[in-house]
Amino acid sequence: MKITRIECHVLLVPEFNEEACSSAQDNIVVQIHTDEGLVGVGETDTNPWVARECIRALGTHCMGLGLEQMLIGENPLEPERIWQKLYSGSKMTGRRGAVICAMGAIDMALWDLRGKALGKPVYELLGGAAKEKITPYASLIPSGRTLDEYCEGLIQSAKQAQAIGFKAGKMEVCVTGPYSHNGIQADDQAIIDLVAACRKAVGPDFTMMVDVAYCWPDAQTALRVIEELAPYDLFFVETPIDIDDLEGYAYLSERSPVPIAAGEWQNTHWEFLDLADRGKIQVLQPDVGRVGGFSEIRKVIDIAEQRDLLIVPHCWKSGIGIAASAHLAAATACCPFIEYLPESLCESVLRKELVSSGVRMENGFIPLPEQPGLGIELNMDAIERYSVDDVRGRGELTAAPFH
């Protein structure tokens, strides 16, 4: 079997909000075609136009080749060997960032393809089932232009998630810092009050996580607030400080009464090695697409297992990424939850429409996937409906404000 063609679909919702703090407005979907008619599907969470050029652009020498250039003619049933070829061949322009994200979409598609060719779900190719079912947590970001509206929306979303069967949820209490949602800028007491209100709403038996989106300027400030959050029994606090401040993460992780989680932006297992050993965090959050795909995330799992850490993958795209996270969790004993976006609570049409069949929650859990590969089916009507060549086709962009 040989790879004959790579398709890159850049997708954009009809009315994107350039001030939004959500990457669910756009996407890149990669399809890898073979001479035997099998097609693998993958996606990644980064600027889709940049990722597309990482794949399509040509190179003129062996240290800076284009990804598509290296893929054509390869045997798709050898994803880990191909990953190393792409990594080595793009080192001058890659090694991290958008090139690794693009490789993640490619690698995800290759594992999907391999599973289809062998008639096995991806998790079986990753080592087999480590559990009987997968536990999703509801990832909750409400609308609301004021702090009061945001608080009320978050509480209602948490109650709805609990009512439809979720056993756990992550409250996005991002109302301060550079990535505050909906432009709300509040003080740290607002975060404490939000967490308290959410805990009261869902009761003591609901597993609750908190994402603050890098809001605090340093570890000392973060620690003071997290100590105030400790009574609310949090499973973790996600990304409290700038991701490059590894010394700050180490200071915080060694002192915080609540486990610290991070890793949504990390590329390759090398960055997770730094996060684990220098940052000393307790919960690693690799995104299958961003980290470089299944071939690379397996090494992140090894890092977690060797250090007795947890894996809770990040996922903020479509049903493609959710399926990838589910297969990862199925094969990973130290992965207690995956991020899940309940359809009734999400606004992105890409999340709702891009995949016509995939993983589904039943009674608060996701059954082990049974179909070969990722077990998803693309809705090609949605692909056609939301495909764009250039963002200017959907309205002029101006410089978005940075809070």
Query: Residue 93: inside a domain, yes or no?
Result: yes
pLDDT for position 394: 47
Residue 265, pLDDT above cutoff 90: yes
Confidence band for 155, pLDDT divided at 50, 70 and 90: very high
Query: Residue 40: inside a domain, yes or no?
Result: yes
Q: What percent of the chain has pLDDT over 70?
A: 95
pLDDT for position 342: 73
| Residues 165, 92 share a domain | no
pLDDT for position 393: 47
| Residues 206, 153 share a domain | yes
Query: Residue 399: inside a domain, yes or no?
Result: no
pLDDT for position 345: 76
pLDDT for position 23: 80
pLDDT for position 251: 98
Q: pLDDT tens-digit profile of 194-209?
A: 999 999 999 999 999 9
pLDDT for position 399: 39
Cα dist from 402 to 20, 183, 273, 362, 375, whole Å: 11, 9, 30, 40, 39
| Residues 184, 143 share a domain | yes
On whether the CB atoms of residues 238 and 256 are closer than 8 A, the answer is no
Q: Whole-angstrom Cα distance, residue 90 to residue 66? A: 7
**Sheet strands side by side (includes 168-172):** 310-311, 283-284, 260-262, 234-238, 207-211, 168-172, 136-140, 338-340
Q: Residue 141 carries which DSSP code?
A: -
Taking the CA atoms of residue 239, residue 244, residue 250 and residue 251 in that order, the dihedral angle to the nearest 10 degrees is -80
Confidence band for 184, pLDDT divided at 50, 70 and 90: confident
Q: Is the dihedral of CA 110, 113, 118, 122 positive or negative?
A: positive
Q: What percent of the chain has pLDDT over 90?
A: 83
Confidence band for 344, pLDDT divided at 50, 70 and 90: confident
Taking the CA atoms of residue 387, residue 393, residue 396 and residue 399 in that order, the dihedral angle to the nearest 10 degrees is 40
Number of domains the chain contains:
2
| Residues 273, 166 share a domain | yes
Query: Residue 389: inside a domain, yes or no?
Result: yes
| Residues 209, 190 share a domain | yes
| Residues 141, 110 share a domain | no
CATH number at residue 282: 3.20.20.120
Q: DSSP letters along 15-27, please?
A: T--TT---GGGEE
Query: Residue 400: inside a domain, yes or no?
Result: no
| Residues 184, 135 share a domain | yes
Q: pLDDT tens-digit profile of 4-49?
A: 999 999 999 887 766 666 788 899 999 999 999 999 999 999 999 9
| Residues 133, 98 share a domain | no
Residue 398, pLDDT above cutoff 50: no
Residue 343, pLDDT above cutoff 80: no
Query: Residue 402: inside a domain, yes or no?
Result: no
pLDDT for position 178: 82
pLDDT for position 395: 46
| Residues 162, 36 share a domain | no
Q: pLDDT tens-digit profile of 373-383?
A: 999 999 999 99
Backbone angles phi, psi at 7, to 5 degrees: -105, 135
Q: pLDDT tens-digit profile of 84-109?
A: 999 999 999 999 999 999 999 999 99
| Residues 102, 159 share a domain | no
| Residues 249, 293 share a domain | yes
CATH number at residue 81: 3.30.390.10
pLDDT for position 391: 55
pLDDT for position 141: 86
Query: Residue 403: inside a domain, yes or no?
Result: no
Q: pLDDT tens-digit profile of 276-330?
A: 999 999 999 999 999 999 999 999 999 999 999 999 999 999 999 999 999 999 9
Residue 402, pLDDT above cutoff 50: no
Q: pLDDT tens-digit profile of 65-84?
A: 999 999 999 999 999 999 99
Average pLDDT, the chain: 93
User: Residue 77's domain spans which residues?
Assistant: 3-119+382-394
| Residues 131, 105 share a domain | no
